[in-house]
Structure 1
Protein backbone atom coordinates (compact mmCIF):
# COMPACT_ATOMS: atom_id res chain seq x y z
CA UNK A 1 0.00 0.00 0.00
CA UNK A 2 1.12 3.53 -0.77
CA UNK A 3 0.82 6.60 1.41
CA UNK A 4 -2.17 7.85 -0.55
CA UNK A 5 -4.00 4.59 0.18
CA UNK A 6 -3.44 4.99 3.91
CA UNK A 7 -4.58 8.61 3.64
CA UNK A 8 -7.80 7.63 1.86
CA UNK A 9 -8.56 4.87 4.38
CA UNK A 10 -8.10 7.35 7.23
CA UNK A 11 -10.24 9.87 5.37
CA UNK A 12 -13.03 7.32 5.00
CA UNK A 13 -12.91 6.56 8.71
CA UNK A 14 -13.05 10.30 9.40
CA UNK A 15 -15.92 10.91 6.97
CA UNK A 16 -18.11 8.01 8.08
CA UNK A 17 -17.27 8.69 11.71
CA UNK A 18 -18.19 12.31 11.05
CA UNK A 19 -21.65 11.30 9.85
CA UNK A 20 -22.65 10.77 13.48
CA UNK A 21 -21.41 14.26 14.31
CA UNK A 22 -23.56 15.76 11.54
CA UNK A 23 -26.60 13.69 12.52
CA UNK A 24 -26.24 14.85 16.10
CA UNK A 25 -25.97 18.47 14.91
CA UNK A 26 -28.98 18.36 12.61
CA UNK A 27 -31.42 15.82 14.06
CA UNK A 28 -32.81 18.14 16.71
CA UNK A 29 -33.73 20.88 14.23
CA UNK A 30 -34.92 18.75 11.32
CA UNK A 31 -36.16 15.58 12.99
CA UNK A 32 -35.14 12.06 12.07
CA UNK A 33 -37.20 11.61 8.90
CA UNK A 34 -36.45 14.96 7.20
CA UNK A 35 -32.73 14.80 7.94
CA UNK A 36 -32.46 11.20 6.72
CA UNK A 37 -34.41 12.21 3.62
CA UNK A 38 -32.15 15.19 2.92
CA UNK A 39 -29.14 12.91 3.22
CA UNK A 40 -30.51 10.40 0.73
CA UNK A 41 -31.86 13.02 -1.69
CA UNK A 42 -28.68 15.09 -1.62
CA UNK A 43 -26.49 12.04 -2.17
CA UNK A 44 -28.71 10.81 -5.02
CA UNK A 45 -28.40 14.17 -6.77
CA UNK A 46 -24.61 14.02 -6.42
CA UNK A 47 -24.56 10.44 -7.73
CA UNK A 48 -26.93 11.03 -10.64
CA UNK A 49 -24.25 12.00 -13.22
CA UNK A 50 -22.43 8.72 -12.49
CA UNK A 51 -25.41 6.75 -13.81
CA UNK A 52 -25.66 8.76 -17.02
CA UNK A 53 -24.57 6.05 -19.46
CA UNK A 54 -26.60 3.55 -21.46
CA UNK A 55 -24.73 0.57 -20.07
CA UNK A 56 -25.25 1.60 -16.44
CA UNK A 57 -28.90 2.51 -17.00
CA UNK A 58 -29.51 -0.86 -18.68
CA UNK A 59 -27.85 -2.61 -15.74
CA UNK A 60 -30.00 -0.65 -13.30
CA UNK A 61 -33.22 -1.51 -15.18
CA UNK A 62 -32.29 -5.20 -15.32
CA UNK A 63 -31.72 -5.42 -11.55
CA UNK A 64 -34.00 -2.71 -10.20
CA UNK A 65 -35.83 -4.90 -7.66
CA UNK A 66 -32.82 -6.22 -5.67
CA UNK A 67 -31.25 -2.76 -5.92
CA UNK A 68 -34.44 -1.36 -4.39
CA UNK A 69 -34.18 -3.85 -1.51
CA UNK A 70 -30.60 -2.70 -0.90
CA UNK A 71 -31.78 0.91 -1.02
CA UNK A 72 -34.30 0.16 1.71
CA UNK A 73 -32.08 -1.95 3.98
CA UNK A 74 -28.69 -0.34 3.44
CA UNK A 75 -29.66 3.33 3.13
CA UNK A 76 -33.23 4.45 3.83
CA UNK A 77 -33.97 2.56 7.05
CA UNK A 78 -30.46 2.81 8.59
CA UNK A 79 -30.37 6.55 7.83
CA UNK A 80 -33.66 7.03 9.69
CA UNK A 81 -32.71 4.76 12.61
CA UNK A 82 -29.31 6.33 13.22
CA UNK A 83 -30.68 9.85 12.86
CA UNK A 84 -33.44 9.04 15.33
CA UNK A 85 -30.86 7.58 17.73
CA UNK A 86 -28.57 10.62 17.65
CA UNK A 87 -31.37 12.78 19.02
CA UNK A 88 -30.84 10.98 22.35
CA UNK A 89 -27.39 9.40 22.15
CA UNK A 90 -23.98 11.07 21.88
CA UNK A 91 -22.44 10.85 18.42
CA UNK A 92 -19.52 8.85 19.80
CA UNK A 93 -21.73 6.20 21.36
CA UNK A 94 -23.79 5.76 18.19
CA UNK A 95 -20.62 5.34 16.13
CA UNK A 96 -19.38 2.64 18.49
CA UNK A 97 -22.55 0.60 17.88
CA UNK A 98 -22.07 1.09 14.14
CA UNK A 99 -18.72 -0.67 14.53
CA UNK A 100 -20.63 -3.91 15.18
CA UNK A 101 -21.71 -4.23 11.54
CA UNK A 102 -19.12 -6.92 10.67
CA UNK A 103 -20.27 -8.92 13.69
CA UNK A 104 -23.89 -8.88 12.62
CA UNK A 105 -22.84 -9.75 9.07
CA UNK A 106 -21.08 -12.85 10.45
CA UNK A 107 -24.06 -13.78 12.63
CA UNK A 108 -26.56 -13.38 9.77
CA UNK A 109 -24.28 -15.37 7.47
CA UNK A 110 -24.32 -18.21 9.99
CA UNK A 111 -28.08 -18.11 10.67
CA UNK A 112 -29.26 -17.45 7.12
CA UNK A 113 -26.63 -18.98 4.84
CA UNK A 114 -25.11 -21.62 7.08
CA UNK A 115 -21.66 -20.06 6.89
CA UNK A 116 -19.01 -21.55 9.16
CA UNK A 117 -18.81 -20.02 12.63
CA UNK A 118 -15.81 -21.46 14.46
CA UNK A 119 -14.87 -21.08 18.10
CA UNK A 120 -12.96 -17.84 17.54
CA UNK A 121 -15.79 -16.19 15.62
CA UNK A 122 -18.32 -17.38 18.18
CA UNK A 123 -16.19 -15.95 20.97
CA UNK A 124 -15.94 -12.69 19.05
CA UNK A 125 -19.72 -12.44 18.78
CA UNK A 126 -20.14 -13.13 22.49
CA UNK A 127 -17.51 -10.55 23.43
CA UNK A 128 -18.98 -7.92 21.11
CA UNK A 129 -22.50 -8.37 22.44
CA UNK A 130 -21.17 -8.16 25.98
CA UNK A 131 -19.72 -4.78 25.07
CA UNK A 132 -23.12 -3.62 23.80
CA UNK A 133 -24.83 -4.77 27.00
CA UNK A 134 -22.21 -2.88 28.99
CA UNK A 135 -22.84 0.28 26.97
CA UNK A 136 -26.60 -0.20 27.17
CA UNK A 137 -26.48 -0.31 30.95
CA UNK A 138 -24.52 2.93 31.02
CA UNK A 139 -26.76 4.64 28.45
CA UNK A 140 -29.78 4.41 30.75
CA UNK A 141 -28.33 7.35 32.67
CA UNK A 142 -28.57 9.52 29.53
CA UNK A 143 -32.36 9.78 29.73
CA UNK A 144 -35.58 7.83 29.17
CA UNK A 145 -35.18 7.68 25.38
CA UNK A 146 -31.60 6.45 25.39
CA UNK A 147 -32.48 2.75 25.61
CA UNK A 148 -34.79 2.92 22.58
CA UNK A 149 -32.19 4.97 20.71
CA UNK A 150 -29.52 2.36 21.37
CA UNK A 151 -31.86 -0.36 20.08
CA UNK A 152 -32.36 1.73 16.94
CA UNK A 153 -28.59 1.78 16.41
CA UNK A 154 -28.43 -1.99 16.82
CA UNK A 155 -31.33 -2.44 14.36
CA UNK A 156 -29.50 -0.28 11.81
CA UNK A 157 -26.34 -2.39 12.08
CA UNK A 158 -28.42 -5.58 11.69
CA UNK A 159 -29.84 -4.13 8.46
CA UNK A 160 -26.32 -3.33 7.27
CA UNK A 161 -25.29 -6.92 8.01
CA UNK A 162 -28.28 -8.26 6.04
CA UNK A 163 -27.55 -5.96 3.11
CA UNK A 164 -23.97 -7.26 2.86
CA UNK A 165 -25.16 -10.81 2.20
CA UNK A 166 -28.18 -9.85 0.12
CA UNK A 167 -26.00 -7.74 -2.17
CA UNK A 168 -23.52 -10.59 -2.56
CA UNK A 169 -26.28 -13.11 -3.34
CA UNK A 170 -28.46 -11.05 -5.67
CA UNK A 171 -26.13 -8.41 -7.07
CA UNK A 172 -22.72 -10.05 -7.04
CA UNK A 173 -22.29 -9.62 -10.80
CA UNK A 174 -23.66 -6.09 -10.98
CA UNK A 175 -21.27 -3.14 -11.13
CA UNK A 176 -20.85 -1.89 -7.53
CA UNK A 177 -21.22 1.71 -8.64
CA UNK A 178 -24.61 0.92 -10.20
CA UNK A 179 -25.74 -0.74 -6.95
CA UNK A 180 -24.60 2.22 -4.86
CA UNK A 181 -26.06 4.93 -7.09
CA UNK A 182 -29.27 3.03 -7.75
CA UNK A 183 -29.85 2.15 -4.10
CA UNK A 184 -29.40 5.75 -2.98
CA UNK A 185 -31.83 6.91 -5.66
CA UNK A 186 -34.35 4.39 -4.32
CA UNK A 187 -33.71 5.59 -0.76
CA UNK A 188 -34.29 9.17 -1.89
CA UNK A 189 -37.63 8.25 -3.49
CA UNK A 190 -38.71 6.25 -0.43
CA UNK A 191 -37.87 9.04 2.01
CA UNK A 192 -39.15 11.95 -0.06
CA UNK A 193 -42.82 11.67 1.10
CA UNK A 194 -41.93 11.37 4.79
CA UNK A 195 -39.43 14.20 4.45
CA UNK A 196 -42.18 16.50 3.18
CA UNK A 197 -44.81 15.30 5.63
CA UNK A 198 -42.55 15.57 8.69
CA UNK A 199 -40.87 18.84 7.69
CA UNK A 200 -40.30 21.01 10.81
CA UNK A 201 -42.61 23.91 11.39
CA UNK A 202 -39.74 26.09 12.61
CA UNK A 203 -37.07 26.92 9.98
CA UNK A 204 -33.87 24.97 10.80
CA UNK A 205 -30.83 27.14 11.54
CA UNK A 206 -27.84 27.43 9.24
CA UNK A 207 -25.84 24.96 11.35
CA UNK A 208 -28.46 22.26 10.78
CA UNK A 209 -28.44 22.91 7.02
CA UNK A 210 -24.65 22.66 6.96
CA UNK A 211 -24.90 19.37 8.86
CA UNK A 212 -27.40 18.04 6.30
CA UNK A 213 -25.11 19.10 3.45
CA UNK A 214 -22.15 17.44 5.15
CA UNK A 215 -24.11 14.21 5.53
CA UNK A 216 -25.19 14.12 1.90
CA UNK A 217 -22.14 15.44 0.08
CA UNK A 218 -19.19 14.49 2.28
CA UNK A 219 -20.25 11.46 4.34
CA UNK A 220 -22.26 9.76 1.59
CA UNK A 221 -21.46 10.85 -1.98
CA UNK A 222 -17.77 11.69 -1.58
CA UNK A 223 -17.17 8.83 0.87
CA UNK A 224 -18.55 6.21 -1.53
CA UNK A 225 -16.52 7.55 -4.45
CA UNK A 226 -13.37 7.34 -2.31
CA UNK A 227 -14.38 3.88 -1.08
CA UNK A 228 -14.65 2.37 -4.56
CA UNK A 229 -11.46 4.11 -5.66
CA UNK A 230 -9.38 2.73 -2.80
CA UNK A 231 -11.12 -0.67 -2.94
CA UNK A 232 -9.90 -1.11 -6.50
CA UNK A 233 -6.37 -0.27 -5.35
CA UNK A 234 -5.97 -2.22 -2.10
CA UNK A 235 -8.59 -4.98 -2.24
CA UNK A 236 -11.39 -6.14 0.03
CA UNK A 237 -9.16 -7.52 2.80
CA UNK A 238 -7.32 -4.30 3.54
CA UNK A 239 -10.48 -2.23 3.29
CA UNK A 240 -11.77 -4.04 6.39
CA UNK A 241 -9.78 -1.64 8.56
CA UNK A 242 -12.47 1.01 8.01
CA UNK A 243 -15.03 -0.41 10.49
CA UNK A 244 -12.36 -0.06 13.20
CA UNK A 245 -11.68 3.58 12.30
CA UNK A 246 -15.31 4.76 12.30
CA UNK A 247 -15.89 4.45 16.09
CA UNK A 248 -12.54 6.06 16.83
CA UNK A 249 -13.32 9.09 14.69
CA UNK A 250 -16.94 9.19 15.87
CA UNK A 251 -15.80 9.49 19.48
CA UNK A 252 -13.06 11.97 18.52
CA UNK A 253 -15.36 14.34 16.59
CA UNK A 254 -18.01 14.16 19.30
CA UNK A 255 -15.48 15.08 21.98
CA UNK A 256 -13.67 17.80 20.02
CA UNK A 257 -16.56 19.52 18.27
CA UNK A 258 -19.59 18.82 20.46
CA UNK A 259 -17.92 18.67 23.85
CA UNK A 260 -19.20 15.15 24.50
CA UNK A 261 -17.72 13.49 27.53
CA UNK A 262 -15.76 10.31 26.94
CA UNK A 263 -16.31 8.05 29.92
CA UNK A 264 -14.29 5.04 30.95
CA UNK A 265 -17.37 2.90 30.25
CA UNK A 266 -17.59 4.23 26.70
CA UNK A 267 -13.92 3.60 25.99
CA UNK A 268 -14.09 0.18 27.59
CA UNK A 269 -17.23 -0.75 25.65
CA UNK A 270 -15.62 0.46 22.43
CA UNK A 271 -12.53 -1.64 23.10
CA UNK A 272 -14.62 -4.73 23.88
CA UNK A 273 -16.76 -4.33 20.75
CA UNK A 274 -13.71 -3.80 18.53
CA UNK A 275 -12.04 -6.86 20.04
CA UNK A 276 -15.16 -8.89 19.32
CA UNK A 277 -15.26 -7.53 15.77
CA UNK A 278 -11.58 -8.34 15.24
CA UNK A 279 -12.16 -11.92 16.35
CA UNK A 280 -15.33 -12.28 14.29
CA UNK A 281 -13.70 -11.03 11.09
CA UNK A 282 -10.54 -13.07 11.66
CA UNK A 283 -8.26 -10.03 11.82
CA UNK A 284 -6.53 -11.14 15.04
CA UNK A 285 -5.80 -14.63 13.73
CA UNK A 286 -4.53 -13.37 10.40
CA UNK A 287 -1.98 -11.22 12.19
CA UNK A 288 -0.84 -14.08 14.38
CA UNK A 289 -0.65 -16.51 11.49
CA UNK A 290 1.25 -14.16 9.19
CA UNK A 291 3.11 -11.55 11.20
CA UNK A 292 5.18 -10.53 8.20
CA UNK A 293 1.98 -9.20 6.56
CA UNK A 294 0.81 -7.24 9.58
CA UNK A 295 1.58 -3.85 8.07
CA UNK A 296 -0.02 -4.82 4.75
CA UNK A 297 -3.19 -5.98 6.51
CA UNK A 298 -3.63 -2.53 7.99
Structure 2
Protein backbone atom coordinates (compact mmCIF):
# COMPACT_ATOMS: atom_id res chain seq x y z
CA UNK A 1 0.00 0.00 0.00
CA UNK A 2 3.01 2.27 0.43
CA UNK A 3 3.38 2.40 -3.35
CA UNK A 4 -0.27 3.32 -3.69
CA UNK A 5 0.21 6.26 -1.33
CA UNK A 6 3.28 7.41 -3.28
CA UNK A 7 1.38 7.14 -6.57
CA UNK A 8 -1.44 9.27 -5.13
CA UNK A 9 0.84 12.01 -3.83
CA UNK A 10 2.98 12.29 -6.99
CA UNK A 11 -0.16 12.26 -9.13
CA UNK A 12 -1.64 15.03 -6.97
CA UNK A 13 1.46 17.20 -7.30
CA UNK A 14 1.33 16.86 -11.09
CA UNK A 15 -2.40 17.63 -11.09
CA UNK A 16 -1.71 20.67 -8.95
CA UNK A 17 -0.02 22.28 -11.94
CA UNK A 18 -3.21 22.03 -14.06
CA UNK A 19 -4.78 25.22 -12.71
CA UNK A 20 -1.56 27.14 -13.33
CA UNK A 21 -1.27 26.04 -16.96
CA UNK A 22 -5.00 26.59 -17.53
CA UNK A 23 -5.06 30.03 -15.90
CA UNK A 24 -2.09 31.08 -18.03
CA UNK A 25 -3.82 29.79 -21.14
CA UNK A 26 -7.01 31.68 -20.29
CA UNK A 27 -5.01 34.89 -19.85
CA UNK A 28 -3.69 34.39 -23.40
CA UNK A 29 -7.22 34.17 -24.78
CA UNK A 30 -7.55 30.40 -25.05
CA UNK A 31 -11.12 29.08 -24.77
CA UNK A 32 -11.90 26.53 -22.00
CA UNK A 33 -12.50 23.70 -24.47
CA UNK A 34 -9.30 24.58 -26.32
CA UNK A 35 -7.34 24.09 -23.11
CA UNK A 36 -9.05 20.76 -22.44
CA UNK A 37 -8.41 19.66 -26.03
CA UNK A 38 -4.72 20.59 -25.90
CA UNK A 39 -4.34 18.79 -22.59
CA UNK A 40 -5.71 15.46 -23.71
CA UNK A 41 -4.43 15.50 -27.29
CA UNK A 42 -0.86 16.10 -26.19
CA UNK A 43 -1.34 13.70 -23.27
CA UNK A 44 -2.51 10.94 -25.60
CA UNK A 45 0.38 11.51 -28.01
CA UNK A 46 2.91 11.42 -25.16
CA UNK A 47 1.46 8.30 -23.53
CA UNK A 48 1.12 6.32 -26.76
CA UNK A 49 4.61 7.32 -27.90
CA UNK A 50 6.12 6.34 -24.55
CA UNK A 51 4.54 2.90 -24.47
CA UNK A 52 5.26 2.29 -28.16
CA UNK A 53 8.95 2.75 -27.37
CA UNK A 54 9.10 1.06 -23.96
CA UNK A 55 6.27 -1.46 -23.64
CA UNK A 56 4.12 -2.12 -26.70
CA UNK A 57 2.09 -4.69 -24.80
CA UNK A 58 0.45 -1.77 -22.99
CA UNK A 59 -1.19 -0.76 -26.25
CA UNK A 60 -3.13 -4.04 -26.41
CA UNK A 61 -6.48 -4.05 -24.66
CA UNK A 62 -9.50 -6.35 -24.59
CA UNK A 63 -12.80 -5.25 -26.11
CA UNK A 64 -14.41 -5.24 -22.66
CA UNK A 65 -11.70 -3.03 -21.18
CA UNK A 66 -11.79 -0.78 -24.26
CA UNK A 67 -15.53 -0.27 -23.76
CA UNK A 68 -14.93 0.70 -20.13
CA UNK A 69 -12.27 3.19 -21.22
CA UNK A 70 -14.69 4.65 -23.77
CA UNK A 71 -17.37 5.18 -21.12
CA UNK A 72 -14.91 6.89 -18.78
CA UNK A 73 -13.18 8.94 -21.46
CA UNK A 74 -16.23 10.03 -23.43
CA UNK A 75 -18.93 10.47 -20.81
CA UNK A 76 -17.45 11.60 -17.48
CA UNK A 77 -13.90 12.93 -17.49
CA UNK A 78 -14.28 15.52 -20.30
CA UNK A 79 -17.19 17.09 -18.42
CA UNK A 80 -15.19 17.26 -15.20
CA UNK A 81 -12.23 18.85 -16.98
CA UNK A 82 -14.40 21.46 -18.71
CA UNK A 83 -16.13 22.37 -15.43
CA UNK A 84 -12.74 22.90 -13.77
CA UNK A 85 -11.57 25.29 -16.49
CA UNK A 86 -14.90 27.16 -16.35
CA UNK A 87 -14.44 27.61 -12.60
CA UNK A 88 -11.00 29.07 -13.24
CA UNK A 89 -12.59 31.68 -15.51
CA UNK A 90 -14.47 33.12 -12.53
CA UNK A 91 -12.19 32.46 -9.52
CA UNK A 92 -8.51 32.46 -8.55
CA UNK A 93 -6.68 29.18 -9.16
CA UNK A 94 -6.05 28.65 -5.46
CA UNK A 95 -9.71 29.08 -4.46
CA UNK A 96 -10.94 26.85 -7.30
CA UNK A 97 -8.56 24.05 -6.36
CA UNK A 98 -9.36 24.18 -2.65
CA UNK A 99 -13.15 24.14 -3.19
CA UNK A 100 -12.72 21.25 -5.61
CA UNK A 101 -11.11 19.32 -2.76
CA UNK A 102 -14.35 18.58 -1.02
CA UNK A 103 -14.34 15.48 -3.23
CA UNK A 104 -12.73 13.12 -0.68
CA UNK A 105 -15.85 13.51 1.44
CA UNK A 106 -18.15 12.97 -1.54
CA UNK A 107 -16.11 9.98 -2.73
CA UNK A 108 -16.37 8.36 0.69
CA UNK A 109 -20.14 8.87 0.78
CA UNK A 110 -20.45 7.29 -2.66
CA UNK A 111 -18.22 4.39 -1.59
CA UNK A 112 -20.39 3.81 1.49
CA UNK A 113 -23.55 3.74 -0.63
CA UNK A 114 -22.35 1.85 -3.70
CA UNK A 115 -19.34 -0.27 -2.64
CA UNK A 116 -20.26 -1.17 0.94
CA UNK A 117 -17.28 0.66 2.46
CA UNK A 118 -17.37 0.74 6.25
CA UNK A 119 -15.23 3.70 7.35
CA UNK A 120 -13.12 3.30 10.47
CA UNK A 121 -12.24 5.94 13.04
CA UNK A 122 -9.03 6.83 11.20
CA UNK A 123 -10.86 7.60 7.98
CA UNK A 124 -13.53 9.60 9.82
CA UNK A 125 -10.84 11.70 11.51
CA UNK A 126 -9.06 12.32 8.21
CA UNK A 127 -12.25 13.39 6.50
CA UNK A 128 -13.19 15.64 9.42
CA UNK A 129 -9.86 17.46 9.20
CA UNK A 130 -10.12 17.77 5.42
CA UNK A 131 -13.68 19.05 5.69
CA UNK A 132 -12.58 21.59 8.28
CA UNK A 133 -9.84 22.81 5.95
CA UNK A 134 -12.26 23.11 3.03
CA UNK A 135 -14.71 24.94 5.30
CA UNK A 136 -12.10 27.62 5.91
CA UNK A 137 -11.55 27.88 2.18
CA UNK A 138 -15.28 28.40 1.59
CA UNK A 139 -15.29 31.11 4.24
CA UNK A 140 -12.32 32.75 2.59
CA UNK A 141 -13.98 32.55 -0.84
CA UNK A 142 -17.13 34.31 0.36
CA UNK A 143 -15.07 36.86 2.29
CA UNK A 144 -13.32 37.73 -0.97
CA UNK A 145 -16.70 38.06 -2.71
CA UNK A 146 -15.70 35.70 -5.50
CA UNK A 147 -18.01 35.17 -8.46
CA UNK A 148 -20.76 32.74 -7.39
CA UNK A 149 -20.63 31.13 -10.84
CA UNK A 150 -17.10 29.98 -10.12
CA UNK A 151 -18.24 28.32 -6.89
CA UNK A 152 -21.04 26.44 -8.66
CA UNK A 153 -18.68 25.29 -11.42
CA UNK A 154 -16.16 24.10 -8.81
CA UNK A 155 -18.84 22.20 -6.86
CA UNK A 156 -20.16 20.59 -10.05
CA UNK A 157 -16.60 19.63 -10.98
CA UNK A 158 -16.04 18.11 -7.53
CA UNK A 159 -19.23 16.04 -7.74
CA UNK A 160 -18.43 14.81 -11.24
CA UNK A 161 -14.92 13.78 -10.23
CA UNK A 162 -16.24 11.90 -7.19
CA UNK A 163 -18.56 9.91 -9.44
CA UNK A 164 -15.66 9.34 -11.82
CA UNK A 165 -13.40 7.92 -9.10
CA UNK A 166 -16.14 5.58 -7.87
CA UNK A 167 -16.81 4.30 -11.39
CA UNK A 168 -13.08 3.84 -12.00
CA UNK A 169 -12.77 1.62 -8.94
CA UNK A 170 -15.61 -0.60 -10.12
CA UNK A 171 -14.42 -0.69 -13.72
CA UNK A 172 -10.77 -1.48 -13.01
CA UNK A 173 -11.35 -4.16 -10.39
CA UNK A 174 -10.35 -6.97 -12.77
CA UNK A 175 -8.32 -5.03 -15.33
CA UNK A 176 -4.90 -3.42 -15.35
CA UNK A 177 -5.57 0.20 -14.43
CA UNK A 178 -2.63 1.68 -16.30
CA UNK A 179 -3.69 0.00 -19.56
CA UNK A 180 -7.22 1.39 -19.27
CA UNK A 181 -5.97 4.87 -18.33
CA UNK A 182 -4.02 5.05 -21.59
CA UNK A 183 -7.16 4.50 -23.63
CA UNK A 184 -9.24 6.80 -21.42
CA UNK A 185 -6.95 9.66 -22.39
CA UNK A 186 -7.26 8.63 -26.04
CA UNK A 187 -11.04 8.77 -25.94
CA UNK A 188 -10.95 12.09 -24.11
CA UNK A 189 -8.73 13.47 -26.87
CA UNK A 190 -11.16 12.21 -29.53
CA UNK A 191 -14.19 13.79 -27.84
CA UNK A 192 -12.48 17.11 -27.23
CA UNK A 193 -11.11 17.22 -30.79
CA UNK A 194 -14.64 16.80 -32.13
CA UNK A 195 -15.76 19.80 -30.08
CA UNK A 196 -12.69 22.00 -30.52
CA UNK A 197 -10.47 21.64 -33.59
CA UNK A 198 -6.91 20.49 -32.75
CA UNK A 199 -5.66 22.66 -35.63
CA UNK A 200 -6.05 25.78 -33.47
CA UNK A 201 -2.69 24.89 -31.91
CA UNK A 202 -1.07 25.97 -35.18
CA UNK A 203 -2.17 29.54 -34.48
CA UNK A 204 -0.58 29.61 -31.04
CA UNK A 205 2.73 31.35 -30.31
CA UNK A 206 5.63 29.51 -28.71
CA UNK A 207 4.25 30.16 -25.23
CA UNK A 208 0.95 28.55 -26.26
CA UNK A 209 2.78 25.45 -27.49
CA UNK A 210 4.69 25.23 -24.20
CA UNK A 211 1.44 25.46 -22.23
CA UNK A 212 -0.14 22.74 -24.38
CA UNK A 213 2.91 20.50 -23.94
CA UNK A 214 2.97 21.13 -20.20
CA UNK A 215 -0.71 20.26 -19.94
CA UNK A 216 -0.07 17.02 -21.78
CA UNK A 217 2.89 15.93 -19.63
CA UNK A 218 2.29 16.87 -15.99
CA UNK A 219 -1.44 16.98 -15.17
CA UNK A 220 -2.32 14.40 -17.85
CA UNK A 221 0.20 11.75 -18.90
CA UNK A 222 1.87 11.47 -15.49
CA UNK A 223 -1.02 12.38 -13.21
CA UNK A 224 -3.75 10.20 -14.72
CA UNK A 225 -1.66 7.05 -15.10
CA UNK A 226 -0.38 7.34 -11.52
CA UNK A 227 -3.89 7.98 -10.18
CA UNK A 228 -5.17 4.80 -11.83
CA UNK A 229 -2.33 2.82 -10.30
CA UNK A 230 -3.13 4.31 -6.89
CA UNK A 231 -6.81 3.35 -7.18
CA UNK A 232 -5.80 -0.15 -8.24
CA UNK A 233 -3.59 -0.56 -5.16
CA UNK A 234 -5.44 1.25 -2.37
CA UNK A 235 -8.96 2.01 -3.67
CA UNK A 236 -10.70 5.25 -4.60
CA UNK A 237 -11.36 6.50 -1.06
CA UNK A 238 -7.74 6.35 0.10
CA UNK A 239 -6.51 7.58 -3.30
CA UNK A 240 -8.78 10.61 -2.92
CA UNK A 241 -7.65 11.20 0.65
CA UNK A 242 -3.90 11.13 -0.06
CA UNK A 243 -4.40 13.17 -3.23
CA UNK A 244 -5.42 16.16 -1.13
CA UNK A 245 -1.84 17.40 -1.40
CA UNK A 246 -2.92 18.72 -4.82
CA UNK A 247 -4.56 21.98 -3.65
CA UNK A 248 -1.52 22.77 -1.51
CA UNK A 249 0.61 22.48 -4.63
CA UNK A 250 -1.80 24.66 -6.59
CA UNK A 251 -1.94 27.38 -3.91
CA UNK A 252 1.85 27.56 -3.66
CA UNK A 253 2.33 27.62 -7.44
CA UNK A 254 -0.43 30.22 -7.83
CA UNK A 255 1.29 32.45 -5.29
CA UNK A 256 4.72 32.02 -6.89
CA UNK A 257 3.78 32.10 -10.58
CA UNK A 258 0.45 33.95 -10.79
CA UNK A 259 1.00 36.39 -7.91
CA UNK A 260 -2.24 35.32 -6.22
CA UNK A 261 -2.48 36.36 -2.59
CA UNK A 262 -2.43 33.72 0.13
CA UNK A 263 -3.87 34.80 3.47
CA UNK A 264 -3.94 33.24 6.92
CA UNK A 265 -7.31 31.52 6.42
CA UNK A 266 -6.05 29.70 3.33
CA UNK A 267 -2.90 28.65 5.17
CA UNK A 268 -5.00 27.26 8.06
CA UNK A 269 -7.18 25.43 5.57
CA UNK A 270 -4.15 23.87 3.91
CA UNK A 271 -2.73 22.94 7.31
CA UNK A 272 -5.92 21.04 8.18
CA UNK A 273 -5.84 19.28 4.82
CA UNK A 274 -2.24 18.18 5.36
CA UNK A 275 -3.09 17.05 8.90
CA UNK A 276 -5.97 15.03 7.47
CA UNK A 277 -3.51 13.24 5.24
CA UNK A 278 -0.60 12.65 7.60
CA UNK A 279 -1.38 12.43 11.31
CA UNK A 280 -4.41 10.12 11.46
CA UNK A 281 -2.79 7.78 8.95
CA UNK A 282 0.72 7.36 10.27
CA UNK A 283 -0.13 3.83 11.30
CA UNK A 284 -1.23 3.04 7.73
CA UNK A 285 2.27 3.44 6.33
CA UNK A 286 3.56 0.59 8.48
CA UNK A 287 3.92 -2.35 6.07
CA UNK A 288 2.27 -4.93 8.33
CA UNK A 289 -0.82 -2.75 8.68
CA UNK A 290 -1.09 -1.96 4.97
CA UNK A 291 -1.55 -5.32 3.35
CA UNK A 292 -5.34 -5.12 2.91
CA UNK A 293 -7.08 -1.81 2.12
CA UNK A 294 -10.53 -1.20 3.55
CA UNK A 295 -12.28 -1.47 0.18
CA UNK A 296 -11.07 -5.05 -0.28
CA UNK A 297 -12.55 -6.03 3.06
CA UNK A 298 -15.98 -4.58 2.27
What TM-score does the superposition give when structure 1 sets the normalisation length? 0.75
1:57 paired to 2:60: yes
The equivalent of 2:15 in structure 1 is: 16
**Secondary structure at the residue paired with 2:16?**
helix
1:264 paired to 2:264: yes
Deviation of 1:13 (Å): 4.3
Higher mean Cα deviation, 129-138 or 179-188? 129-138
Q: Distance in 2 between matches of 1:212 and 1:171?
A: 29
The equivalent of 2:150 in structure 1 is: 149
Higher mean Cα deviation, 119-128 or 217-226? 119-128
Pair 174,33 (structure 1): closer, same or farther in 2 beyond 3 Å: same
The equivalent of 1:25 in structure 2 is: 24
Q: Are the aligned partners of 2:15 and 2:246 in contact in 1 as well (CA < 8 Å)?
A: yes
Deviations 1:141-186 (A, max 9, x none): 6566x32222322322322222222122222111112211111111
**Secondary structure at the residue paired with 1:87?**
helix
After TM superposition, the structure 1 = structure 2 runs for residues 71-90 of structure 1, keeping only pairs within 5 Å, are 71-72=73-74, 75-90=77-92
Q: Are the aligned partners of 2:103 and 2:162 in contact in 1 as well (CA < 8 Å)?
A: yes
Deviation of 1:242 (Å): 4.8
1:39 paired to 2:39: yes
Count of aligned pairs between the two proteins: 281
After TM superposition, the structure 1 = structure 2 runs for residues 97-108 of structure 1, keeping only pairs within 5 Å, are 97-108=99-110
Higher mean Cα deviation, 263-272 or 17-26? 263-272
The equivalent of 1:193 in structure 2 is: 194
Q: Are the aligned partners of 1:26 and 1:35 in contact in 2 as well (CA < 8 Å)?
A: yes
Q: Are the aligned partners of 2:98 and 2:134 in contact in 1 as well (CA < 8 Å)?
A: no
After TM superposition, the structure 1 = structure 2 runs for residues 127-138 of structure 1, keeping only pairs within 5 Å, are 128-129=130-131, 131-138=133-140
Pair 286,268 (structure 1): closer, same or farther in 2 beyond 3 Å: closer
* Structure 2 gaps, min length 5: 291-298
Q: Distance in 1 between matches of 2:66 and 2:114?
A: 23
Q: Distance in 2 between matches of 1:209 and 1:148?
A: 29
What TM-score does the superposition give when structure 2 sets the normalisation length? 0.75
Pair 208,92 (structure 1): closer, same or farther in 2 beyond 3 Å: farther
After TM superposition, the structure 1 = structure 2 runs for residues 196-207 of structure 1, keeping only pairs within 5 Å, are 196=197, 204-207=204-207
Q: Are the aligned partners of 1:136 and 1:147 in contact in 2 as well (CA < 8 Å)?
A: no
* Structure 1 gaps, min length 5: none
Q: Tell me how large the CA RMSD over aligned residues is.
A: 4.0
